[in-house]
A and B are shown apart, each in its own frame.
Chain A
Amino acid sequence: MNKHKVMGLIAVGLLATLPARGAEMDAKQVTIAAKALGFVSPKASAGAKVVVTAGAAPVAAVQSAMSAASVAAGDAGSAAGAFAVFVASADEAKKANGKGTVTVGNDVACVDAGACVIAVETTPKVTIYVSKAAASAAGVDFDPNFKMMITEK
């Protein structure tokens, strides 16, 4: 086995052990996610803390979509007391899960895993996914009419 093949196998092995990370949310996804957060109960208060982890979403886009919130880049561990945390993986979501914190995944897989409370798709049309288990763990609920129009997992 030559050196390149060995390096390649090591790289594949390392990748396989890393937690899955979705692509960073684009501005449209962020806008839809921010609007969906408007249906969370209890609602965010003015100046509510919102944390965006690396690779989850552009911080500026989140701030633009949630102008009344206090948005900052950070890691999932610093999300205590936050209204929402935009995360890039299920592992980050699990770290951020706390009372009243809504975890927003950049990939539906995070909701499938029961780690993120919410994730959105914007193509081919707007689709919103919510994990009932994660929402329950976070102590949040959604508008009952909204829940009739989304995919709960």
Chain B
Amino acid sequence: MKMATITPSGLILAAVTSMALAQAAMAQSMDYGSLQDLFGEPVTTSATGKPQRASEVPAAMTIVTADEITKSGARTIPDVLNRVAGIDVLQWTSSNADVGIRGYNQGYNPRLLVLVNGRQVYQDFYGMTLWSSIPVQLSEIRQIEVVKGPQSALFGFNAVSGVINIVTYSPFYDDVGTVEATLGNLGQKEFSFVKTLKLGTRGGIRLSAGGWDMDTYGTNTSTNWAKFYDKKSSSRTASLDSLFQITPDIQAGLETTWNSINEFGIASSGEYVRNDYKTYSIRGNLKANTRIGLLEANAYSNNLDVNLGSRVSFVNTKMRSNIVQLQDLVKLDDRLTTRIGLEFRDISMKSYPVRGATNGYKNYALSNMFDWQATTDLSLTLALRGDHTALYRDGPRPYPFTDTDYERSFNSFSYNAGMVWRVTANDSLLLTTARGISSPSLIELRNNSVTAPSPNSLLISGNPNVDPSVTTSYEIGWRHMIDDINGFGRLSVSHQKTTDLKFVNLSSPKLINGYRVFLLGDNLGSTQAWTLEAELQGKLDAFRWNLSWMWMDTEDAIKISNLLIGENYEKSNARNTVKANIGWDSGPWSTDLLLLWKSKTYRYLQDGSNKTLFEVNPGLMTQASVGYQVTSDLRISLSGANLLKDETRLTPAPKAERRVWATVSYKL
């Protein structure tokens, strides 16, 4: 009898063979496409962290689908978001924009958490989002999820006015490929490429790259800021995402991205700035289906190189956000699901213009979410999160402060609670309350001193003693499905109050340890607002349409003159915003028209040595697109924005010119 012998190489071959022959495993990552196909509606994890159907989330949420993005003709994410009820877009230039949810939008808006597949893409530098730097091509987006209201307990940092989660096609589950080219007036030239590739049966990658060149709006050459104003803007982006089935119960992913942008924008101080940023990131992700739940570990590093020029300063620095997140999602019984999360953040920035000091903070957070399906018609959600933040600074004494000031630590607490009651088969009532935390950004905290200043010097510094802003909100919403229009009606009333508002205070110096200091982070009051949102959406035959109205009443209680801080929310929050979107699809044709109207607003602009309050009254604004599907793979479209006038004042920045562009899209 001959005995079989097992060699090391044989063992490896056997292991590889058994892996190859193994049945496909359970998916730890969510297969959005298959679940959407099953339930007949988009699915999401952005409301509670738990997979849910869009119609069941305990939050005011809108999901913009890939089909809607394509038909809109939009070429930027802010243009896509501008269609959503409750969203405000400040389009400073043809490429630079800030996005706000339920008002309080401003240059470098620091109140919004923007994610790409769960990775933050807002910058801890100012807490702002550089929309042009987001390393995503529109053609690789499966859906954009917009959650309105504070979500700090569920998502942590910056989720003060809401969360925008951009979900791309999966490198593992989806098979997509697109190459697109766009040409337009204002020198618009754009190209993008997206392709998923399967690596056997156990892995896949998604490659994407793109770039654009565009002239910015306006021909204004005011001498005060002309040197910072360059008509040319550009962006270059590349990313690689991957997902692998390691064992039947474990998936691992690796993602890396790179972007370079150069564009003209408006800073939080209301000043013109020339943005020159480079971002790069790397992320590893591990998901495991275990006896104790769906475990997920997520670690990433976001890096930002800054070259930012304004009238008064030039910022040249490097910033890094290292983040580790662990979570366990467990279905405790048929009705109760919980998610326990741990998060560690190490955020740091180099001093400038002279290196030699590093400012930063470490943050430790623990969160817990419970989602309870109390009855068939009633579900309740409660999420709690505690953060411990410890500042640090390496380098010489941080004049005018002392090292002790930068050894400060503080705790913050946030919550989200929601109830969805399905009153009838067609009616649901939503009640939510939340406490959101806006932690100080690095700019608000940092100190660049590397040498002792002269006595009695006038200094500019971040403030280690600045406190987080706290936003508390309450909302009641009602949604009614209307079969006759194949759509729904929605009405919501919400109230938000923000205390310890943080501002750049470059106008009223404080005396600190014998020095007069302008503080880049100062708590200077509070603000509150009532918001009413009404929305009606339907689809009849070839027509699809959405009509929304948002009314807002704002009351500020700010301790110093609005002129000194450059913000006046009572005047900059539009009292009324009306959006009407209608589309018509027939055979290979699709058309889309967005009409948008906002009440008159006022916004400060730092133009040269004066800060002036600008009236912004754009009247009726439009975006439109006509698309034609030439073959199943080839689509052409002609789109435009600001079509009604040659020039439209959208913000205090130079007026927006009429834009028209044509796009050719080919599926690979």
Q: Which residues of A contact B (CB under 8 A)?
A: 32, 35-36, 38-39, 41-43, 45, 124-126, 128, 141-149, 151-153
Contacts and interface: CB of A to CB of B under 8 A. Distances in A.
Contacts of A147: 331
Interface stretch (B38-46, B532-540, B591-599): B38-46
B25 interface: yes
Given A144-B289, A147-B331, A149-B43, A45 B52 contact: no
Contacts of A148: 50-52, 329, 331, 337
Interface string B16-56: 00000001111111110011011110010000001111010
Contacts of B30: 145
A41 B23 contact: yes
Contacts of B337: 148
A118 B26 CA distance: 17
A143 B24 CA distance: 11
Contacts of B334: 151-153
7 contacts: A35-B34, A39-B38, A125-B55, A126-B39, A144-B294, A145-B51, A148-B51
Nearest to A36: B38
Contacts of A45: 23
B1 interface: no
Closest 10 CB pairs of A and B: A42-B23, A41-B26, A35-B38, A145-B51, A145-B30, A148-B51, A124-B425, A43-B24, A144-B289, A144-B294
Nearest to B27: A143
Contacts of B40: 125-126
A124 B41 CA distance: 14
B376 to A, nearest CB: 9
A105 to B, nearest CB: 18
A100 B334 CA distance: 23
A144 B51 CA distance: 10
Interface residues of B, number: 29
Contacts of A141: 26
Contacts of A142: 26
Contact of B31 (A32, A126, A145): A145
Interface in B31-90: 31, 34-35, 37-40, 43, 50-53, 55
A147 B38 CA distance: 13
Given A145-B27, A145-B29, A149-B52, 6 more contacts: A39-B34, A141-B26, A144-B289, A145-B51, A149-B43, A153-B334
Contacts of A144: 26-28, 289, 294
B26 A143 contact: yes
Contacts of B39: 125-126, 149
A126 B24 CA distance: 26
A128 B30 CA distance: 17
Nearest to A142: B26
B24 to A, nearest CB: 5
A124 B55 CA distance: 13
Most buried by A among B39, B53, B331, B334: B39
A38 B50 CA distance: 20
A79 B604 CA distance: 75
Contacts of A35: 34, 37-38
Contact of B25 (A41, A124, A145, A151): A41
B184 to A, nearest CB: 40
A35 B334 CA distance: 22
Interface in B86-136: none
Interface in B308-365: 329, 331, 334, 337
Nearest to B45: A145
A143 B425 contact: no
A38 B26 contact: no
Nearest to B287: A144
A45 B334 CA distance: 30
A83 to B, nearest CB: 11
Contacts of A36: 38
Scoring A124, A128, A149, A152 by chain B CB atoms within 10 A of each residue's CB, the highest score goes to A149
Contacts of A146: 35
Contacts of A42: 23-24
A152 to B, nearest CB: 5
A41 to B, nearest CB: 4
Contacts of B51: 145, 148-149
A124 B337 CA distance: 24
A149 B217 CA distance: 47
A149 B39 CA distance: 9
Nearest to A141: B26
Contact of B38 (A43, A124, A126): A126
Given A148-B337, A149-B51, A32 B38 contact: yes
A145 B289 CA distance: 10
B145 to A, nearest CB: 16
A125 B55 CA distance: 10
A144 B53 CA distance: 15
A146 B34 CA distance: 10
A148 to B, nearest CB: 5
Contacts of A38: 34, 38
B153 to A, nearest CB: 19
B503 to A, nearest CB: 42
B53 A149 contact: yes
A143 B53 contact: no
A143 B23 contact: no
Contacts of B52: 148-149
Nearest to B426: A124
A100 B40 CA distance: 28
A37 to B, nearest CB: 10
A151 B29 CA distance: 20
A125 to B, nearest CB: 7
